Amino acid sequence: QVQLQESGPGLVKPLETLSLTCTVSGYSISSGYYWGWIRQPPGKGLEWIGNFFHGGSTFYSPSLKSRVTMSADTSKNQFSLRLTSVTAADTAVYYCTRAYCSSTSCYEFDNWGQGTLVTVSS
């Protein structure tokens, strides 16, 4: 059974960089599927951030693309999110996800972490 677990600071200052890590168990991230992040501001809906395939394609939200980087550490079976120049609008629960994608499209997110709240505040 695939399990995903987010970790990282719960508080980030404005204009600094948000960094989160997702640890995956039950499946090797280098074996297939796409991996990525979705966020949910408190009391609001879901917003896709992006997905990547280790050693292959990357998809980023057009609205966040200039600030987002995703990477993987296969030795630890982890992947990471970096979001630069954060503002209060980036305050949200951040979920790491596994996605089923082709080389051009992602179709569904079939496994989710429990989520971690990141607050942007001075």
Partner 1 sequence: SYELTQPPSVSVSPGQTASITCSGDKLGRKYVCWYQQKPGQSPVLVIYQDNKRPSGIPERFSGSNSGNTATLTISGTQAMDEADYYCQAWDISTAAVFGGGTKLTVL
| Sites of contact with partner 1 (CB under 8 A) | 45-48, 51, 59-62, 95, 100, 105-110, 112-115
Q: Compute the least distance from the CB of residue 60 to partner 1, in Å.
A: 8
Q: Compute the least distance from the CB of residue 24 to partner 1, in Å.
A: 15
Instruction: Return the number of the residue (27 or 112) whose C-beta is nearest partner 1.
Output: 112
Instruction: Return the number of the residue (79 or 95) whose C-beta is nearest partner 1.
Output: 95
**Distance of alpha carbon 96 from the chain centroid:** 5
Q: 3-state class of 73 per DSSP?
A: strand
Number of H helices, E strands in the chain: 0, 11
- List CB contacts of 84: < 8 A, sequence separation 6 or more: 17, 18, 67, 69
Q: Compute the least distance from the CB of residue 35 to partner 1, in Å.
A: 14
Instruction: Return the number of the residue (63 or 71) whose C-beta is nearest partner 1.
Output: 63
Q: Compute the least distance from the CB of residue 96 to partner 1, in Å.
A: 10
Identify which of 105, 97, 114, 15 has the alpha carbon closest to the alpha carbon of residue 48.
97
Instruction: Return the number of the residue (10 or 62) whose C-beta is nearest partner 1.
Output: 62
Q: One-letter amino acid identity for 40?
A: Q
